[in-house]
């Protein structure tokens, strides 16, 4: 991953500004390109100290010049299942996120997570789209639980936002330790997981385009990813094809997050 050295004077000034201006909850914005996605060894299943990666067993998402939805214009990520990009198609690809590194805290639990949402623009006629999956930590297996969420199906080939608060309930839960599926509590709302799984620490979050049962690969654009915590903290990800001019915002944001981590940890006390 390309790193940018940020001068001590800049960090000192930024620290002073944040200590004065940072509210109890944070609003964080990232600009993310394919070059910002850490490989499997670096991402280390959400334990590598970096916010973004991809499923290292499969090709990563690629950047597209197709403009995103309002507020996220000029580019997006693409699953490229048709294989028109260099290197061939991506029948399965994942945008992988580490919530604790995104928010600069020691951990994010299932109960801490209030909402996950993202925008997609689907090229397929069946309109089956990118799917959300949340993996939790385990001391026995490489992950504990995998919460699969219902794949959104939008009305047409325009941009639409999907959310765990509206059209993406939990569809099934896999227990990696026992090796079997278990019942989904309540109606499958994200908050319905709190009673049984609220203390589970999130390993990473996947937004995947790939094969579903009896469906073709997802040919769709992805942008405007948003994570919301119960304390009101919000992180948005603007997915772009190439870095914007100047210092990549992702690294400036990471520097800022390191400075406010102590403040952000108050919610876990």
In this prediction, residue 216 carries a pLDDT of 60
Token match 């990800």: residue? 237
The per-residue pLDDT for range 120-142, each reduced to its tens digit, is 999 877 777 899 999 999 999 99
* Residue 195: CATH number of its domain: 2.60.120
More reliable by pLDDT, 47 or 1: 47
What is the pLDDT at residue 125?
75
Answer with the residue of higher pLDDT: 199 or 2: 199
pLDDT for the residue 80: 75
Domain for residue 4, yes or no? Answer: no
Confidence at residue 212, expressed as pLDDT on a 0 to 100 scale: 53
- 205, part of any domain: yes
Query: Would residue 131 count as lying in a domain?
Result: yes
Per-residue pLDDT, 251? 44
- Residues 167-183 have pLDDT tens digits of 999 999 999 999 999 99
d(CA 166, CA 189): 9
Q: How far apart are CA 1 and CA 250, in angstroms?
A: 12
The overall average pLDDT reported for the chain is: 82
Residue 42 belongs to some domain of the structure: yes
Helix (H, G, I), strand (E, B) or coil at 166: coil
CA separation, residue 174 to residues 136, 182, 186 (Å): 11, 6, 16
Residue 258's pLDDT is what? 46
Greatest pairwise CA separation for the chain in angstroms: 56
Domain presence at residue 100: yes
The answer as to whether 5 is a domain residue is no
Number of domains in the chain: 1
* Alpha-carbon gap, residue 164 to 120, rounded angstroms: 14
Beta-strand pair 27-32/234-239? parallel
Does some domain include residue 102? yes
Residue 62 lies in a domain: yes
Q: For residue 178, give its domain range.
A: 27-246
Task: Tell me how far apart the alpha carbons of residues 146 and 101 are, in angstroms, rounded to a whole number.
Answer: 20
Whole-angstrom Cα distance, residue 108 to residue 214?
34
């Amino acid at each position: 991953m390309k790193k940018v050295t940020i001068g001590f004077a800049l960090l000192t000034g930024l620290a002073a500004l944040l200590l004065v201006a940072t509210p109890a909850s944070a609003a964080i914005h990232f600009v993310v390109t394919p070059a910002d996605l850490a490989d499997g060894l670096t991402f280390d299943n959400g334990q590598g100290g970096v916010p973004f990666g991809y499923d290292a067993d499969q090709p990563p998402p690629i950047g597209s010049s197709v403009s995103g939805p309002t507020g996220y214009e000029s580019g997006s990520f693409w699953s490229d299942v048709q294989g028109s990009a260099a290197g061939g198609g991506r029948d399965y690809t994942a945008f992988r996120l580490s919530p604790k590194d995104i928010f600069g805290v020691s951990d994010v639990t299932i109960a801490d997570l209030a909402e996950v949402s993202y925008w997609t623009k689907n090229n397929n006629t069946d309109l089956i789209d990118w799917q959300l999956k949340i993996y939790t930590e385990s001391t026995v297996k490489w992950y504990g639980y995998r919460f699969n969420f219902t794949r959104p199906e939008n009305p047409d080939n325009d941009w639409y936002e999907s959310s765990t608060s509206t059209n993406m309930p939990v569809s099934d839960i896999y227990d990696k330790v026992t090796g079997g599926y278990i019942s989904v509590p309540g109606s499958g709302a994200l908050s319905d997981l709190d009673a049984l799984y609220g203390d589970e620490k999130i390993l990473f979050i996947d937004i995947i385009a790939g094969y579903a049962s009896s469906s073709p690969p997802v040919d769709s654009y992805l942008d405007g990813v948003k994570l919301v915590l119960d304390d009101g903290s919000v992180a948005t990800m603007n997915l772009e094809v190439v870095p914007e001019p100047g210092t990549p915002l992702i690294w400036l944001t990471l520097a800022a997050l390191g400075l406010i981590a102590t403040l952000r940890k108050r919610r876990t006390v």
